[in-house]
Amino acid sequence: MHTPVLLQQAIEGLRLNSQGFYIDATVGEGGHVSEMLKKQTRILAIDADSEQVKRLKNRFGHDKNLILEVGNFSEIEHIAKKQGFFPVDGVLFDLGLSMRQLKEGHRGFSYKELDDPLDMRIDANTLLTAEEILSQKSEKELSEIFSKNAEEIFSERIAHAIATARRKKGITTVGELVSIVQSAHKGINRSTVARIFQALRIEVNDEITNLKKGLQGALSIIKKPGGRIVVISFHSLEDRVVKLFARQHHMNMSTMKPKTKGAKAGFERSATLRIISC
Ligand SMILES: C[S@@+](CC[C@H](N)C(=O)[O-])C[C@H]1O[C@@H](n2cnc3c(N)ncnc32)[C@H](O)[C@@H]1O
């Protein structure tokens, strides 16, 4: 079960009213949407992962206020207009992956699930898997992926280790990639491995391009003035896109971070909530 990060703050940021139309662009396991439904608003909920949407249809299928759609939020304008959600009062983006995708997805998202295949596609129709990227991209291209998507200082060494290893045998599992990354330099620790997995996932799913398109699409369907775009991001690359978007369009933006204590806080620590007033 996914524990939504910054749940109440995101809901308050959307300023839900019972006459309004809202979009949850990343419905995931339904944590945010079930809270939104309590306010009796009309909601269009989207996710690129058809398995997530299928599960939610079983859970919420009866709710007349909720429409569930499989789709990429890069297409949000098209999906919203098709469903009559135009103009909308608020759009929520809770970026990244849900706990179920990470722990039970068996798609290689987590560097801890050593036997999983290196797939990493959120949407099963995405062109290239992580395994295919690792086998098809040149050493230089791999190094660029790691430095661009993860600002990883060992990018060149890791790309070289991958290029050397794949000459002997294809890299097909999480465990194989983890060992190769760790072998690239003695200074490499678990956080380097986590960053390399994140960089590959961003590449496989074209996450930065999709986020830019998603924000632009949200802006084209949101009520002006007064609509809200709320974004929860988990790394600086995404957050930078959100900040730049608000600045370029001269929109007010407020920011919140979770109040977390000690090591227990886990991945929540890296979350940033941005509320953009349109
Ligand atoms: C952090 S989870 C959302 C969790 C959700 N807020 C909840 O409370 O359960 C992020 C979700 O976004 C979805 N996702 C990621 N990129 C997407 C995209 N480009 N378009 C649509 N959904 C996307 C993932 O499949 C995942 O289910």
Q: What is the CATH number of domain 127-204?
A: 1.10.150.170
Which residue has the least CA distance to atom 9 on ligand 1? 29
Instruction: Please tell me if the CB atom of residue 98 comes closer than 6 angstroms to any atom of ligand 1.
Output: yes
Dihedral in degrees, nearest 10, Cα atoms 82, 88, 90, 93: 20
Task: Please write the tens of the pLDDT for every residue from 221-273.
Answer: 999 999 999 999 999 999 999 999 999 999 999 999 988 665 445 667 789 99
Of 97-101, 102-106, 108-112, 138-142, least confident by mean pLDDT is 102-106
Where do the structural domains in the chain lie, given as residue ranges? 7-100+207-277, 127-204
Q: How many CB atoms lie within 10 A of CB 249?
A: 14
Give yes or no for a contact between 158 and 152, defined as CB atoms under 8 angstroms apart.
Answer: yes
Residues 116-143: tens digit of each pLDDT: 999 999 999 999 999 999 999 999 999 9
Ligand 1 binding pocket includes 2 (Cβ within 6 Å)? yes
Atom of ligand 1 nearest to the CA of 52: 27
Mean pLDDT of 10-29: 96
Beta bridge partners of 66: 43
Distance 165 CA to ligand 1 centre (A): 33
Atom 3 of ligand 1, residue of closest alpha carbon: 28
| Res 105: pLDDT | 82
Section 47-70 average pLDDT: 94
Query: Are residues 146 and 155 in contact, defined by beta-carbon separation less than 8 angstroms?
Result: yes
pLDDT computed for residue 268 by the predictor: 74
Residue with token string 């179920």:
100
Q: What is the pLDDT of residue 264?
A: 45
Q: Residue holding tokens 């007349």?
A: 64
CATH of region 7-100+207-277: 3.40.50.150
Which residue's alpha carbon is nearest to atom 8 within ligand 1?
Answer: 31
Q: Determine whether the shortest distance from the Cβ of 26 to ligand 1 is under 6 A.
A: yes
